Structure 1
Amino acid sequence: MKNIFIVNPAAGSKDSSYAVEREILKISDKYDCEIYFTKYAGDATRYVSEYCKSHAEPLRFFSCGGDGTLNEVANGIVGFENAAFGCYPCGSGNDFVKYYGGAESIESFLNVEKLLKGTEQLIDLIRIGDRYCVNICNFGFDAVAAKIMSKLKYNKIFGGSRAYYTGAAKALFGSMKTHCRIEVDGEVLTDGDILLCTVANGKYIGGSFLCAPRAENDDGYLDLCLVNPISRLSFIKLVGLYKNGLHLDDKRCSSFIDYRRCKKLSIKGGKDFIYALDGEIYEIPEMEIEVVPKAVRFVVPQGLPY
């Protein structure tokens, strides 16, 4: 088994590539390991795909970065049956790995030996056009906050783990409505203004928001959470429920939240419509979203349930 660590020096609020390299070198005498440092956005997908094409033996690629780097590695292994991927989380959000036990699971993913001894789980992916999403695709208020966050993650005061909160606070001063038409499995769900919408394979977003508490990443379904417009005051009062994953069971939220499982969505937005795909921002007025069941194998560290 060949293990290739894909290190993104630009991930997180500081360059942790040398610290990651040190951890890998500690166990390199016991395992067949290689390290590759990405050079630009999209480089991980290119490198992983080319590596898979030229190697027939079993491969494991470990993303060393945040959710964006993990997304690139996943896009690189799609279609290659001899390849699996895992994650050494050292980005600003690290949302997907929290599926396996919240923030407490991070420690296991940061243990390189537990990673290398991990079990492979077949998981679903979300397909948006020719791109694949591992964790969550979202639009509306969340995407606006993510766009602001992306500009702040290297800021010493407002960056790092605080970036999403800062982004959300700044987004509160803008428009809290996004106009779009959403069809879910052929049925029109809405054609008007929304506050936000998440299409989830994982559970967490923004570093610590449990937006999709019922999501299962291997059930062949997407979990959609549509939040209709509410006042700023109501948002401030209730955002704690959303953060802690209590919004689906609290009666105060039932009048403006629609949560359902689905297979396919069609989205039509306006001229400046943006969406976030595993935290990365894209601008496109229309898109088709669908689940790809059991698309790739993800390495769950030794000792963690799934």
Structure 2
Amino acid sequence: MKITAIVNGISSQLDTCLEELNSVSENIQVRITQNHGDATLFAQDACNSGTEFIIVCGGDGTLNEGVNGMLMSQNPKCLFGLYPIGSANDYAHVIGGGTISQLIACAKNKTQESVDIGVIRWSAQQRYFCNISAAGIGAEIAATFNARRFKMGIRLNYYSAIIQWLSMYSAPNLEIRIDGKSLRGKTLLSAIGKGVYAGNGLALLPQSELNDGSLGLTIATNVGVIDFIRFQGRLKKGKRINDARVQYLKGTQIEIQVIDGTLAIDADGEFIARIKKGESISYSILKNELNFVRPNTDTRVTI
């Protein structure tokens, strides 16, 4: 089996990961990222060169880049596995991961699961995502976290960014359409996706499932700092917030149009766009698009 490992070159666990890759008997091509976009190029090149199994060694951002590269290649059905060593491993909390040896054994035995992938379209652009796309304050928080990720601890970085943006964010006026139903108003956060967790373990989409053919949509309106402090216990436990300002929905086609203001967008924690008044962004689903290798044991990451 031809195997390629794409490794996040700035991971704090880089040395441990490389040691494990070198310890297995299989001949693995190892590509180490240095710049934004490297994982996309590496995955596309690997799939076009006949790789049968890609192991992404990183977090949500590295996985997102790798999946986009694979789906842009001539071999978009390559097997995928995750060795979670990122600063945020929110998707791994649901999909699981495994040691390098476990992942290779499962790939050889075809122990895999087909999972859905989300598609984001805006202007003339397109981006795939595995976990969650945040529109609004969530994307601003992610951008702030990524800009200062080496300046403080992961949890402190996330929570300080959340509190900072909750205290200063001006919510845009949006029209959100989900399977023909229209919702209008000022919206703090719209979270769309297949995963459950974002922001280092906050359950923004507890209603989501990996392969049910639908997208989860959570909408939050005028939630403040005190509300977040009050809600975070339930968010960390994967439970819904019982508050009229938070709605949990599911659908297959979602479109967001900016009526007034600007709207930041991310994909799996990576900032991708900012759209303004009169512009829109759409979300759809690719059913069972990603062939994900999952060990039989429960290897979900505890956050």
Note whether the superposition's TM-score is higher than 0.5.
Answer: yes
Say how many residue pairs are matched. 285
Alpha-carbon distance, 1:290 to partner: 0.6
1:20 has 2:9 as partner? no
Q: 1:275 aligns with which of 254, 261, 265?
A: 265
Alpha-carbon distance, 1:81 to partner: 4.9
- For residues 21 and 231 of structure 2, the distance between their equivalents in structure 1, rounded to whole angstroms, comes to 43
Contact 2:172 2:261 in 1 (8 A): no
Q: TM-score, normalised by structure 2?
A: 0.87
1:120 has 2:112 as partner? yes
Contact 2:4 2:46 in 1 (8 A): no
Alpha-carbon distance, 1:128 to partner: 0.6
> Aligned residue for 1:179?
173
Q: Give the fraction of aligned pairs with identical amino acids, expressed as a percent.
A: 27
Contact 2:206 2:240 in 1 (8 A): no
Stretch moving more, 231-240 or 212-221: 231-240
Alpha-carbon distance, 1:67 to partner: 0.6
> Aligned residue for 2:185?
192
Q: 1:145 aligns with which of 141, 144, 161?
A: 141
- For residues 10 and 272 of structure 1, the distance between their equivalents in structure 2, rounded to whole angstroms, comes to 32
- For residues 186 and 174 of structure 2, the distance between their equivalents in structure 1, rounded to whole angstroms, comes to 6
Alpha-carbon distance, 1:136 to partner: 0.3
Alpha-carbon distance, 1:302 to partner: 3.8
Q: After superposition, give the CA deviation of every residue in 1:62-112 in whole Å (9 maximum; x if it has no partner).
A: 111111100011112226255111111111111101014xxxx5xxx3522
Q: How does 1:53-202 map to 2 (within 5 A)?
A: 53-55=48-50, 59-78=52-71, 80-100=75-95, 109-118=97-106, 119-129=111-121, 130-155=126-151, 158-175=152-169, 177-189=171-183, 191-202=184-195
Q: After superposition, give the CA deviation of every residue in 1:131-155 in whole Å (9 maximum; x if it has no partner).
A: 1001000122222221211122111
Stretch moving more, 69-78 or 174-183: 174-183
Contact 1:149 1:163 in 2 (8 A): yes
Task: Give the letter for the 1:182 counterpart.
Answer: I
Q: After superposition, give the CA deviation of every residue in 1:23-42 in whole Å (9 maximum; x if it has no partner).
A: 11111x2x232211123211
Stretch moving more, 175-184 or 83-92: 175-184
- For residues 237 and 300 of structure 1, the distance between their equivalents in structure 2, rounded to whole angstroms, comes to 35
Q: TM-score, normalised by structure 1?
A: 0.86
SS of aligned partner of 1:273: strand
SS of aligned partner of 2:168: coil
Q: After superposition, give the CA deviation of every residue in 1:199-241 in whole Å (9 maximum; x if it has no partner).
A: 1201111111122223111110001111121344333322322
Q: How does 1:285-296 map to 2 (within 5 A)?
A: 285=275, 286-296=280-290
Q: After superposition, give the CA deviation of every residue in 1:108-135 in whole Å (9 maximum; x if it has no partner).
A: x352211222321101001012210010
Q: After superposition, give the CA deviation of every residue in 1:234-262 in whole Å (9 maximum; x if it has no partner).
A: 333223223322225x3xx1x11211110
- For residues 82 and 263 of structure 1, the distance between their equivalents in structure 2, rounded to whole angstroms, comes to 22
- For residues 76 and 10 of structure 2, the distance between their equivalents in structure 1, rounded to whole angstroms, comes to 29
Which runs of 4 or more aligned residues in structure 1 lie more than 4 Å from their structure 2 counterparts after TM superposition? none
Distance 1:185-1:110 versus aligned 2 partners, 3 A rule: same
SS of aligned partner of 1:50: helix
Distance 1:302-1:32 versus aligned 2 partners, 3 A rule: farther
Instruction: List runs of 5+ in structure 1 lacking aligned partners.
Output: none
Contact 2:186 2:221 in 1 (8 A): yes
SS of aligned partner of 1:162: helix
Contact 1:73 1:85 in 2 (8 A): no
- For residues 149 and 29 of structure 2, the distance between their equivalents in structure 1, rounded to whole angstroms, comes to 28
Q: After superposition, give the CA deviation of every residue in 1:34-67 in whole Å (9 maximum; x if it has no partner).
A: 2111232112111211222232xx6111111111
